[in-house]
Amino acid sequence: MGLLLVVACGAAALWSTRGGESGPLAGRPRVTDTRAGLSYGVPDGWKHDPAKDRDLIDAFSSQITRIPGTDHGAAATTGATVLAGRAGRPVSRADLRRTTEAAARSNAEFFFPDRPATLEDSHTTTVDGRPAHTAVLRVTGDTGGRLEMTLLTAPGGRTTFLLGVVTGEPDPALVEDLHDVLASTTVD
């Protein structure tokens, strides 16, 4: 529960549409999360409900979810959510990897209690030109799961994140959707 306690943010997300962007989510609706300082695209077959953002725990400020039955053939038992939020403390560029991996493990314990999670990938990346790090955990057990956490440094020394959670056996198309959301993210 480490990052969940460290992450402190409230809900303030606005729905908007941006045109003229390149990439797989160009022209799609966007979520503008003023608390996290991020804006991200909503893939086809996913939805954003601003009213549900207000019900999130304080660690998260916005979310989008896959609409069951409208995805790319994923099993009906597979669910997917992308959450955004602002970390409670700044994280230096030098500490991004360690902090991202620890936060991903903490969130895996929260979303998949009592199920083992294995680090599948950890790599440096950028989000809208900002330094970032992504950690991917594979969750084993009865139904499987996947957690992808990207932590980034934003202007003014703040740290923010995107967290993709797939319950059930991850369908490759859902994983691609997670990657498309990250690729569409801009820092506001």
Measured from the Cβ of residue 73, the count of other Cβ atoms closer than 10 Å reads: 9
Domain residues for 135?
2-187
pLDDT on residue 22: 73
pTM of the model: 0.84
* pLDDT above 70 (res 15): no
pLDDT on residue 70: 62
Higher model confidence: residue 72 or residue 112?
112
At position 9, the amino acid (one-letter code) is: C
Shortest CA distance to 166 belongs to which of 106, 77, 85, 100?
77
Give the domain CATH number at 29. Answer: 3.40.1000.10
Q: Is 37 exposed, middle or buried (0-12, 13-18, 19+ CB in 10 A)?
A: buried
Q: Which helix (H) or strand (E) holds 108?
A: helix 96-111
Higher model confidence: residue 23 or residue 30?
30
Q: Which helix (H) or strand (E) holds 124?
A: strand 117-127
pLDDT on residue 18: 38
Which of 53-57, 109-113, 144-148, 154-158 is predicted least confidently?
154-158
SS3 146: strand
| pLDDT tens, position by position, 117-141 | 999 999 999 999 999 999 999 999 8
Domain count, the chain: 1
| pLDDT tens, position by position, 26-38 | 999 999 999 999 9
Higher model confidence: residue 119 or residue 72?
119
* pLDDT above 60 (res 14): no
Q: How far apart are CA 104 and CA 171, in angstroms?
A: 20
Q: Measure CA 78 to chain center.
A: 17
For residue 20, what pLDDT band results from cuts at 50, 70 and 90?
very low
The answer to whether 6 and 88 are in contact (CB under 8 A) is yes
Shortest CA distance to 182 belongs to which of 108, 136, 127, 107?
127
The answer to whether 169 and 138 are in contact (CB under 8 A) is no
